[in-house]
Amino acid sequence: MTKKLEEKEIKLIALDMDGTLLNEKGEIPEENKKAIKEAHDQGMHVVLSTGRSIATCRDHAKSLLLKTFLVTVNGSEIWDMNGNLIERNLVEATHIQWMWELAQQHKANMWAASCDQVWIDKMPEDVSKSEWLKFGFHIEDDQVREQVLNSLNEKNCFEISNSSPVNIEVNALGINKAKGLKKVCELLHITMDQVLAAGDSLNDISMIKEAGIGVAMGNAQDIVKQTADVVTLTNNENGVAYAIRKWALKKEVAEVKK
């Protein structure tokens, strides 16, 4: 560990879920649960910062006995642990309609998160009657995915990321996990320099860049590893537990395998 990281006083641990906290089976490994409890016992806040909606992450938060905030849908929503909505940032319905048509044009698989539900490969008849948080494309073909990305970038009105190499996630411009965590830090009266953030995909880069300690998973996309301060083990090797103990709790742990 560099001297700079050794000097960081971590008060909040922000964890992505898929590919990070969860293993390939979609489960939270016991070792990760133990390390999160160790952090709690030291007075640290642990926040799930995820692309998932509240409906698909709340149970995981409860199982970990988390007592703080949840950053969901890549920062589109912030919730407290009593189920109260703190902040919501919407994508314009006209933009959602345009992306739905773009997906159809390229015969791409898609999903879209409204405030009420997640739509997969279909949409309501009248998109304008719902409030929208995110739109996603799942495209295996590299060339088609590049074409869709180019169309999105040309609009210059979206926050574009991914949660796997074959998808594209689209939020309102300026909405990302870092922005959500900054709001949480304000509410807790701490700074982003006191945050350790861990993730594996493009939608994690904003928080990894702005956190005091940015951690890339061993299974992270290469650009995420290049952005992070440090790289931990993979999500199937309890990489979250390793990161918490080594860089937040400052414990002696076995070195990461090269």
Could you tell me the end-to-end alpha-carbon distance of the chain, in angstroms, rounded to an integer?
15
Kindly compute the dihedral angle of the four CA atoms of residues 144, 147, 149, 154, in this order, to the nearest 10 degrees. -160
Residue 118 CA to residue 10 CA, distance in Å, equals: 34
Backbone angles phi, psi at 114, to 5 degrees: -95, 180
Q: Hey, which residues are catalytic here?
A: 16
The answer to whether the CB of 21 falls within 8 A of the CB of 235 is: yes
The answer to whether the CB of 63 falls within 8 A of the CB of 144 is: no
CA distance to 52, 108, 149, 171, per residue, from 111 (Å):
12, 10, 16, 13
